[in-house]
Structure formats: structure tokens, C-alpha cells
């Protein structure tokens, strides 16, 4: 069900992108938008992992520094029947983690220095299993494509506002069309953001469930989520809005955000779903 929902939402995002391109430049604008979307998705597919790792100053974690963590990840990968990902660490005290990479063969799991210090073994196993599930489901690629399309829609909408400002007073007969363009230029980025975040939230639930099945211990991840949330409020991670969707717990959760505009589902709901799995 989550897979179908993600495909439908991504289709809606693509359709909105093409519609905005059409409004901005007619058939040629739609074609240009399609080419632009393809180009941006190509760049995202090949380079997004390198860009996000560089943004957080992440470096490869030597196995000699964390042999037990490597052994844990190797065991989980064998159970999940996926290749061993590269393991990176970024130097922030706030505990958090994310996965990136275009496919399981090129996957990277990045752990903050803080998460290696504060998590118990079963909690860390739950976190890593969550990220491995993202890798298996190719969620990082899906999230990157969604973020790229949403960003392109915002760019096109920005251009439409300028078109409206420069042409709005030239022809009274076109003012209705210009007004519609200006309204769409305001509403489209809002719709794109909501769709993008809905995709992100649906994949988090799926990754939580996958992690519980992989570790056979839903409580490990549930306990980790509680701890991560508490730390994120006391010790916020230095992160950007554009990459917040990658993390297991939103690094922006300490800020006041409406649930509709959150990159992650409510943490209480995630924990409740995990603990309910113990009854099954």
C-alpha cells in the first residue's frame, strides 16, 4: 500500500511540474519542464549521495574504530540479502543517522558521532536496520527525485511571479490569465511541498516496519526513537531543510512545525506502531 501511495504521489508531483511548465510557457514550456526534470533527476541519481555526504563533512568510518558496529551491520546485511554498504561518520554530537546512495550496491549509511556514543546495542541495531530498509526499498533515490521535482516547481513558480509582475499591466484582456498564473505561482510550491513530505512520511513508516522484522525486536527501534527525539530537542543537529527528510528522526523536530509540513510522521505514532507489532 505504501509503495502504491508513493508512486501516486510522485506521479502527482511530476504532473504538477509539467502543468506549471505549461502555464509558464505553453507547450514549449511543458517540453522544457520535462527536459529539465529529466536532467535534474539524472544529476540527482548520480551525484546526490556525494553532495549530501560532503554537506555534512562525512568521512568513511574505519572498521578498526568500530568493529562491533561493522559486525552488526554485516550480520543485518546478510539477513536482508543486500551488499554491505559503506559506513560513514559525521562529526556532530547530536545522535542521528541517514542512508544515501542510488541503489543497494552504492549505498552509504552515515552515523553521527553522537549516535555511536549514546545508543545501546539493540537500539543501534534498530536504527541501522531502519536505514538498511531504506536502502532495500530504494527510498533515498525516491526521496531525492521528489525533492528535486519540488525544488524545480518552486523555481518555475518563482519565474511565473516575475512574468506576472512584468506583464500584468500591459493588456487588460490578459489580466484574468495573469491573475490565474500568479495564484498558481503561490499555490504550486505549497502543493509540491505537501506532496514531497507525504512521500517522505509514508516511507518512514515502511522503514520502521522493515527494521522491526529484520531485527525481530521492535522495541529496540522504539527505544532508539524515544532517545533520538529527546536528544534532538536538547542538542539540535546542524542540518538543512533540504536534507532533513534523509534522517531517521527529523533534525528540525525541535522547532515548531505544523504536522502537515513535517518531513517525518509523528514520533509518538511511529513508536506506537512498533510496540503494537509485539502483539502480532
Terminal CA-CA length for the chain: 19
Strand 59-60: give its sheet, edge to edge: 59-60, 86-90, 108-112, 97-100
DSSP 8-state class, residue 1: -
Let me know: does 97 contact 115? Beta carbons within 8 Å. yes
Chain center to CA of 35: 23
User: For residues 48 and 46, what is the distance between their CA atoms, to the nearest angstrom?
Assistant: 6
User: For residues 193 and 154, what is the distance between their CA atoms, to the nearest angstrom?
Assistant: 9
Quote the cell numbers at residue 254: 525541535
Active site residue: 60, 63, 121, 131, which one?
131
Chain center to CA of 20: 23
- Region of residue 17 (left: phi > 0; alpha: psi -120 to 50; beta: else): alpha
Quote the longest CA-to-CA distance of the chain. 72
Instruction: Establish whether 131 is a catalytic residue.
Output: yes
- Please name which of 133, 46, 23 lies closest in space to residue 82, comparing C-alpha atoms: 133
User: For residues 59 and 92, what is the distance between their CA atoms, to the nearest angstrom?
Assistant: 12
Show which residues are catalytic: 131
Amino acid at each position: 500500500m505504501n509503495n502504491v501511495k508513493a508512486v501516486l504521489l510522485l506521479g502527482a508531483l511530476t504532473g504538477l511540474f509539467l502543468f506549471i511548465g505549461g502555464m509558464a510557457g505553453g507547450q514549449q514550456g511543458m517540453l522544457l519542464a520535462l527536459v529539465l526534470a529529466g536532467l535534474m533527476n539524472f544529476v540527482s541519481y548520480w551525484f546526490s549521495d556525494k553532495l549530501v555526504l560532503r554537506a555534512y563533512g562525512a568521512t568513511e568510518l574505519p572498521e578498526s574504530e568500530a568493529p562491533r558496529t561493522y559486525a552488526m551491520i554485516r550480520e543485518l546485511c546478510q539477513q536482508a540479502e543486500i551488499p554491505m554498504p559503506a559506513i560513514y561518520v559525521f562529526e556532530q554530537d547530536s545522535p542521528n543517522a541517514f542512508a544515501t546512495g542510488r541503489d543497494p550496491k552504492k549505498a552509504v549509511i552515515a552515523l553521527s558521532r553522537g549516535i555511536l556514543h549514546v545508543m545501546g546495542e539493540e537500539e543501534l541495531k534498530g536504527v541501522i536496520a531502519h536505514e538498511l530498509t531504506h536502502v532495500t526499498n530504494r527510498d533515498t533515490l525516491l526521496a531525492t527525485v521528489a525533492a528535486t521535482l519540488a525544488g524545480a516547481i518552486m523555481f518555475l513558480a518563482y519565474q511565473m511571479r516575475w512574468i506576472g509582475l512584468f506583464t500584468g499591466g500591459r493588456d487588460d484582456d490578459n489580466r484574468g490569465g495573469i491573475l490565474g498564473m500568479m495564484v498558481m505561482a503561490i499555490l504550486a510550491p505549497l502543493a509540491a511541498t505537501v506532496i514531497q513530505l507525504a512521500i517522505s512520511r509514508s516511507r518512514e513508516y515502511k522503514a520502521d516496519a522493515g527494521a522491526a522484522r529484520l531485527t525481530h525486536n521492535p522495541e529496540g527501534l522504539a527505544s532508539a526513537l524515544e532517545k533520538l527525539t529527546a536528544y534532538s530537542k536538547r542538542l539540535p543537529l546542524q542540518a538543512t531543510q533540504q536534507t532533513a527528510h534523509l534522517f531517521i528522526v527529523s533534525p528540525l523536530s525541535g522547532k515548531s512545525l505544523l504536522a502537515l509540513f513535517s518531513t517525518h510522521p509523528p514520533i509518538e505514532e511511529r513508536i506506537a506502531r512498533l510496540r503494537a507489532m509485539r502483539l502480532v
